[in-house]
A and B are shown apart, each in its own frame.
Chain A
Amino acid sequence: MIPTDLKDNPPERRALIGEYVLGLLDESDEAAIRQLIDTDAAAERDYLFWHQHFLALADTVPAQQPYEGLWARIEQETGLAARKAELSLSLFDQIWGVLGRWRGAAAGAALGAVAMALLALFTPVFDRAPPTGGYVAVLQQPGESAAPGWVVRIAADGRLSLSPLVETAVPADRSVQFWTLVDPAQGPRSLGLIQPGQSVELPADRIGPVIPGQLFELTLEPPGGSPGSRPTGPVLFIGRAVQVASN
Chain B
Amino acid sequence: MLKQFADHEAALAACARGDAAALRALYDAESGNMLGLALRLVRRRDVAQDVVQDAFVMIWRNANRFDPARGQARAWMFAILRYRALNALRKSSREVELDEGAAEALPDDAPDALEAVGRMQESAALRRCLEGLDEPRRKPVMLAFLDGLTHGEIAERLKSPLGTIKSRIRLALRDLQECLQS
Point out residues on A near B: beta carbons under 8 Å. Answer: 11, 14-15, 18-19, 21-24, 41, 44-45, 47-49, 51-67, 70-71, 73-75, 77-78, 80, 83-84, 141-143, 169, 171, 220, 234, 236
Point out residues on B near A: beta carbons under 8 Å. Answer: 14, 17-21, 23-24, 27, 31-33, 35-37, 39-40, 48-49, 52-53, 56-57, 60-61, 67, 70-72, 74-76, 78-79, 82, 86, 89-90, 107, 109-111, 116, 119-121, 124-127, 129-130, 141-142, 144-146, 148, 150-151, 169-170, 173-174, 176-178, 180
Which of B33, B121, B178 gathers most chain A CB within 10 Å?
B33
Q: Complex: how many Å from CA A61 to CA B30?
A: 13
Q: Complex: how many Å from CA A83 to CA B86?
A: 32
Query: Do A22 and B57 have beta carbons less than 8 Å apart?
Result: no
B residues near A70, Cβ cutoff 8 Å: 31, 49, 52-53
Q: Complex: how many Å from CA A122 to CA B40?
A: 56
Question: What distance in Å separates the Cβ of B124 from its nearest Cβ neighbour in chain A?
Answer: 4
B residues near A53, Cβ cutoff 8 Å: 124-126, 129, 176, 180
What are 22 A-B residue pairs whose CB atoms fall within 8 Å in the complex?
A: A11-B174, A15-B170, A18-B177, A19-B170, A22-B144, A23-B86, A24-B169, A44-B67, A48-B71, A49-B177, A56-B127, A57-B120, A58-B145, A62-B36, A64-B36, A70-B31, A70-B53, A71-B24, A77-B53, A83-B20, A142-B18, A234-B21
B residues near A49, Cβ cutoff 8 Å: 71, 177, 180
Q: Complex: how many Å from CA A126 to CA B27?
A: 45
User: What residue of chain A has the Cβ atom nearest to residue B89's Cβ?
Assistant: A23
A48-B76, A54-B126, A220-B19 known; A24 vs B144 contact (CB < 8 Å): yes
A residues near B82, Cβ cutoff 8 Å: 21, 23, 51
The answer, among B18, B144, B146, for a CB contact under 8 Å with A143, is B18
Chain A contact surface mostly: helix
B residues near A60, Cβ cutoff 8 Å: 111, 116, 119-120, 146
B residues near A143, Cβ cutoff 8 Å: 18
Question: What distance in Å separates the Cβ of B167 from its nearest Cβ neighbour in chain A?
Answer: 12
A residues near B60, Cβ cutoff 8 Å: 74, 78, 80
User: What residue of chain A has the Cβ atom nearest to residue B10's Cβ?
Assistant: A171
The answer, among A22, A24, A51, A84, for a CB contact under 8 Å with B78, is A51
A55-B78, A57-B116, A62-B36 known; A48 vs B72 contact (CB < 8 Å): yes
Q: Complex: how many Å from CA A172 to CA B61?
A: 24
Q: Complex: how many Å from CA A139 to CA B143?
A: 52
A residues near B173, Cβ cutoff 8 Å: 14-15, 18-19
A57-B120, A142-B18 known; A24 vs B150 contact (CB < 8 Å): yes
Query: Do B71 and A56 have beta carbons less than 8 Å apart?
Result: no
A74-B57, A234-B18 known; A64 vs B72 contact (CB < 8 Å): no
Query: Do A74 and B56 have beta carbons less than 8 Å apart?
Result: yes
Which of B20, B21, B57 gathers most chain A CB within 10 Å?
B20
- A-B contact sample (8 more), CB < 8 A, given A60-B120, A62-B36, A74-B56: A48-B70, A55-B74, A56-B121, A57-B146, A60-B146, A143-B18, A220-B19, A234-B19
Query: Do A74 and B169 have beta carbons less than 8 Å apart?
Result: no
A residues near B37, Cβ cutoff 8 Å: 58, 61
A residues near B27, Cβ cutoff 8 Å: 71, 74
A residues near B18, Cβ cutoff 8 Å: 141-143, 234, 236
Question: What distance in Å separates the Cβ of A199 from its nearest Cβ neighbour in chain B?
Answer: 21
The answer, among A45, A47, A67, A78, for a CB contact under 8 Å with B23, is A78
Query: Do B124 and A24 have beta carbons less than 8 Å apart?
Result: no
A67-B49, A71-B27 known; A78 vs B61 contact (CB < 8 Å): yes
Q: Complex: how many Å from CA A227 to CA B85?
A: 43
